[in-house]
Chain A
Amino acid sequence: MVRGGPANRAVKRAKVFALAKSFGAKGRSKNVYSLAVRMVQKSLQRQYVARKTTKRDMRSLWITRINIAAREHHVPYSVFMNQLTKNNIQLNRKMLSELAIHEPRTFKAFADFAREQHKQGLRAALK
């Protein structure tokens, strides 16, 4: 029976060790192949998951930041975003959080607008 081994064992091992090094391997997992290959496989799996969770984590961070900045002007996040969408202001959460940090006056204008719109809506509902 012919067993198809790798074309070049040294190249295969070098690739794994290079990856292990890039993932910050410590101890024997940077020298011992059997440990390095396990570490590399696990790290690649975690990388695959992290590429997806990063997007969710960043979105939740933007939402937290918008909430903090909006509450500074006495509007909670839910009201703020609801009024912006209702009035067709199509800024996404990433840009709104950037505005909150670097252009606070622009953000204040949005917050004041959202608060006034919300008040008018409440008044209309009472009538």
Chain B
Amino acid sequence: MLVGNRFRQSLVTHTRLWYLINAKDQINGRLAAYIATVLQGKTKPIWHPKADVGDFVVVVNTKDIAFSGRKWDRKVYRHHTGYPGGLKETNAIALHQKDPTRVLWRAINGMLPKNNSRKIYMSRLFLFEGEDHPYAENIYAQLEAPASMPKKLDEYTKEEFENYPKLF
């Protein structure tokens, strides 16, 4: 074993890191589950229930997030204003048109533990509807989103398309 402070040797392990995630074509809930684990620090082997080791996460392209099935029309987001008869309901597509980061924000918020540390974790989350974000120099690495999306037909080159095995 090397001589010296073990903490200093493994500095990157103990530092709070900034990660970038591209939300394009990702399923909302699956992406949210992954981001929630990163925010809690549950992807690091130094995790401890009483120590806050969570990372920063920057998510871009939230306007291109996906839902499976007919959830854009059917999924309902509710909140109560506090006044009598103040239960407000919107479906996912209406909420998404109003604010393209809100659908993912609510999914992540719902997947974090409901205690005082939720606010701290959520303060380390930055959602952007497009490609642009002001944290480029903080970013340590880009994380691979959980679902690897299949290639679309127009993304194949002509050679690949011709050499693809055909049944008939």
Contact = CB atoms under 8 A, between A and B. Distances in A.
Interface of A: 61, 64-66, 68-69, 72, 97, 100-102, 104
Contacts of B45: 65-66, 68-69, 72, 97, 100-101, 104
* B45, B46, B47, B49: residue with the most chain A Cβ atoms closer than 10 Å: B45
A97 to B, nearest CB: 7
Interface of B: 6, 9-10, 13, 42-49
Nearest to B44: A68
A104 B44 contact: no
Contact of A68 (B10, B47, B49): B47
Nearest to B10: A102
A68 B49 CA distance: 14
A64 B47 CA distance: 8
Given A68-B47, A101-B45, A102-B6, 12 more contacts: A61-B48, A61-B49, A65-B45, A66-B45, A68-B42, A68-B43, A68-B45, A97-B45, A101-B10, A102-B13, A104-B10, A104-B45
A24 to B, nearest CB: 17
A65 B44 CA distance: 8
Contacts of B49: 61
The CB with the most chain B CB atoms within 10 A, among A64, A65, A69, A101, is that of A101
Contact of A72 (B10, B43, B48): B43
B43 A101 contact: no
B34 to A, nearest CB: 12
A61 B44 CA distance: 13
Nearest to A96: B45
A102 B44 contact: no
15 contacts: A61-B48, A64-B47, A65-B45, A65-B46, A65-B47, A68-B42, A69-B45, A101-B10, A101-B45, A101-B46, A102-B6, A102-B9, A102-B10, A104-B10, A104-B13
A68 B43 CA distance: 6
Contacts of B9: 102
Nearest to A97: B45
Nearest to A72: B43
B137 to A, nearest CB: 26
A69 B46 CA distance: 9
A101 B48 contact: no
Contacts of B42: 68
B51 to A, nearest CB: 11
A118 to B, nearest CB: 20
A51 B83 CA distance: 51
A100 B6 CA distance: 13
